[in-house]
Structure 1
Amino acid sequence: MGAGSSRGVSRGPAGRRIGWPRTLAATRGDTLRREHLRFIAETPRGGVLHCFVLDCSGSMLSGRRLALAKGLLIALFDRAGAARAEVALVCFGGTSADVRFGPAVPRWWNERWLETVGAGGGSPLDTGVRRATQLLERSARRRPAQQRWLWILSDGRTRDEPARPLAADEVVFVDFEHGALRLGRCEALANAWGARWITPEELIG
């Protein structure tokens, strides 16, 4: 389907459909480049799972990072519920990681899912990712055609360097590190994984 079709879309990389009206608007009269491309969101036929991994370590209390992360999670759960996508929530901190919700479609938001999530102790990112990997692998066996997203919400204050979960089709790091003294570990790990790296402000906007 070409640019002149009634729907104004054609195929981009990996079969993704390009939305030409938005793409052409993004060029602002300039020569079309890759960064101008705007794609149409399509729901995979096998459904979608968003697995959120929340850092509940002591450093996330600084600057109310954990409070911001919790608020962001509520918004993301709402979006997933509206799209009828499955959601899972893994929280890690101290020396452990626990599955607090799912995988399931969030029909409503229950404050108790985050009520007992308190920050403290170390930041066992490796343990959190390993727990999420187990969950994603089970989902992959249960629903092979499902698209699986892994979201890691953290300030990156850890020395762990876990391996990228193979069962995750897309990975997004939401980096809560702020201040003048930045370690940049979330960004570095995102680059190593070939994952997306964004700030909470970019996600909210």
Structure 2
Amino acid sequence: MQTLLAKRNRALDATHLRFHRERGDSGALHCFVLDCSGSMLSGKRLALAKGLVVALFDRAYRERAEVALVCFGGATAQVRREPGAAHWWNDRWLAPIGGGGGTPLALGVRTGANVLAKAARHQPSQRRFLWLLTDGRSPETPLRPDAADQIVIVDFESEAVRLGRCIKLAESWQADYRTAVSMTSA
């Protein structure tokens, strides 16, 4: 449109050309909700999940998207990174995040949902993604976060006898379901 306005009634010339740069997914917010419970310490799942978060933050940086991080475990859920540009992220921030205790899945999801809802009030046109990284070792079935446009559940369950709670949650939320193995081998 801008090219046509610059051209007007004249013959098209290189000086009339106007370009619109595509900027990846800069209108997006990726909120990562990381399970830091005791069960995630088994088999180094938490370490694997942290590595995946670093890789996803790096991808968000390349796409110029915003990121947020919520960690839950024990009896708490904490916003470790408020929404902002991914370039402020640093893998040294992940190192001190420990694990242990129970799996307050509903509290973690609700905290992530609150981050997305707040972002939706400030930037209604922004696309909002919730990434839930968990082994699903919780009897809780949290409600689907309303402010999430898209949800991805990354399943870290690796026991011989699987409970399958992550895939059930993904089905009930109509979310994308991925295993940790598929995410880390891609």
**Which TM class, normalised by the smaller chain length?**
0.7 to 0.9
Runs of 4+ in structure 1 deviating by more than 4 angstroms, as ranges, are 42-46
Q: Say which of 120, 130, 146 aligns to 1:166.
A: 146
Note if contact 2:23-2:64 (Cα within 8 Å) is conserved in structure 1.
no
The superposition leaves residues 67-88 of structure 1 with CA deviations (integer Å, 9 ceiling, x where unpaired) of 1001111100000011110000
Note if contact 1:148-1:168 (Cα within 8 Å) is conserved in structure 2.
yes
Residues paired across the two proteins, number: 164
Write the distance in 2 (CA, Å) between the matches of 1:95 and 1:161. 16
Q: Hey, what does 2:161 align to over in structure 1?
A: 181
Q: CA deviation at 1:45?
A: 8.0
Q: Residue type of the partner of 2:67?
A: V
Q: CA deviation at 1:106?
A: 1.5
Aligned partner of residue 115 in structure 1, secondary structure: coil
Write the distance in 1 (CA, Å) between the matches of 2:123 and 2:88. 23
Structure 2 length as normaliser, TM-score? Answer: 0.84
Q: Hey, what does 2:35 align to over in structure 1?
A: 55
Q: Hey, what does 1:190 align to over in structure 2?
A: 170
The superposition leaves residues 139-184 of structure 1 with CA deviations (integer Å, 9 ceiling, x where unpaired) of 0010000000000000000011110011000000000001311000
Note if contact 2:25-2:63 (Cα within 8 Å) is conserved in structure 1.
no
Q: Hey, what does 1:90 align to over in structure 2?
A: 70
Structure 1 length as normaliser, TM-score? Answer: 0.76
Residue 180 of structure 2 is aligned to residue 200 of structure 1: yes
Q: CA deviation at 1:46?
A: 7.2
Map 1:88-167 onto structure 2 (within 5 A): 88-167=68-147
Q: Hey, what does 2:56 align to over in structure 1?
A: 76
Note if contact 2:151-2:175 (Cα within 8 Å) is conserved in structure 1.
yes
Q: Residue type of the partner of 1:81?
A: Y
Write the distance in 1 (CA, Å) between the matches of 2:90 and 2:25. 28
Write the distance in 2 (CA, Å) between the matches of 1:44 and 1:166. 24
Write the distance in 2 (CA, Å) between the matches of 1:167 and 1:157. 25
Q: CA deviation at 1:44?
A: 8.1
User: Comparing both chains, which one has the higher relative contact order based on Cα–Cα distances under 8 Å and sequence gaps of 6 or more?
Assistant: 2
